[in-house]
């Protein structure tokens, strides 16, 4: 597994979400000062549906260790937020900040969590992926862009840079299964680093209520950026606002 880099400044590892790839960050990176940040990004490893979550995390962490960082921070988007928590857990002495973007400790509603997706909706989506992944991914992209001013432009970018890439169905199933069962609520409360949140108020995948809950109930959350007209990919739809937020964090 290879990690690409841009810039020479403070190292921040960017972790993408489900069914995407590292190219999702490229338009956002254009807004960031490469002298201020060293931007590290990679494709999530391809996994068989029967592989273990721990093996996935190990592959990612091993690739990070190859860079021999004395310190680094993490920007985790959607599913990438779950992976960010795991990487922090293995590097507590090196990670000072985690920026969670459109992410949540629990994606699917449970008896003690009501700020996620309905389980039936999640399961139906998973079944559709297996039947026609290209059509379902297109519908997934459209869902993420509901209400966006630049919806057509952003959808074209996603189609050209994500849909055209080969998709490993087993990997999609692997990550979906763990999105459904992962519960990082307790671990997020116990982290010993600063947490920052970026949230789109029109997000249909990670309800805004989950971000409000984390902001109110986690003492490590230092600040949150709510973007009124943003949905699930705020760094694509509102890159300037997200770049300014990042610059303020590292001012």
Predicted local confidence at residue 71, as pLDDT: 97
Residues 226-251: tens digit of each pLDDT: 999 898 999 999 999 999 999 999 99
- 127: containing domain: 4-249
92: domain CATH number? Answer: 3.40.50.1820
In total, how many domains does the chain have?
A: 1
Residues 69-110: tens digit of each pLDDT: 999 999 999 999 999 999 999 999 999 999 999 999 999 999
Three-class secondary structure assignment of the chain: CCCEEEECCEEEEEECCCCCCHHHHHHHHCCCCCCCEEEEECCCCCCCCCCCHHHHHHHHHHHHHCCCCCCCEEEEECHHHHHHHHHHHHCCCCCCEEEEECCCCCCECECCECCCECHHHHHHHHHHHHHCHHHHHHHHHHHHCCCCCCHHHHHHHHHHHHHCCCCCHHHHHHHHHHHHHCCCHHHHHHCCCEEEEEEECCCCCCCHHHHHHHHHHCCCEEEEEEECCCCCCHHHHCHHHHHHHHHHHCC
| pTM (2 d.p.) | 0.95
């Amino acid at each position: 597994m290879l990690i690409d880099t841009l810039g020479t400044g403070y190292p921040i590892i960017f972790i993408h979400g489900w069914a995407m790839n590292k190219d999702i960050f490229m338009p956002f990176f254009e807004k960031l000062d490469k002298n201020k940040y060293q931007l590290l990004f990679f494709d999530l490893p391809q996994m068989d549906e029967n592989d273990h979550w721990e093996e996935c995390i190990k592959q990612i962490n091993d690739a990070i260790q190859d860079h021999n960082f004395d310190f680094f921070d993490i920007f985790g988007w959607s599913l990438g937020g779950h992976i960010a928590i795991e990487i922090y857990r293995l590097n507590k002495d090196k990670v000072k900040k985690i920026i969670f973007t459109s992410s949540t400790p629990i994606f699917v509603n449970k008896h003690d969590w009501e700020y996620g997706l309905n389980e039936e909706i999640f399961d139906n989506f998973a079944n559709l992926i297996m039947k026609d992944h290209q059509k379902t991914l297109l519908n997934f992209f459209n869902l993420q862009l509901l209400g966006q001013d630049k919806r057509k432009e952003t959808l074209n970018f996603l189609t050209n840079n994500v849909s055209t890439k080969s998709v490993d169905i087993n990997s999609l199933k692997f990550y979906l299964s763990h999105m459904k069962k992962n519960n990082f609520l307790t671990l997020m409360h116990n982290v010993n680093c600063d947490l920052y949140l970026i949230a789109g108020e029109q997000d249909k995948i990670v309800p805004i209520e989950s971000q409000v809950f984390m902001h109110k109930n986690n003492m490590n959350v230092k600040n949150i950026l709510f973007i009124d007209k943003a949905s699930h990919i705020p760094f694509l739809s509102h890159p300037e606002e997200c770049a300014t937020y990042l610059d303020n964090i590292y001012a």
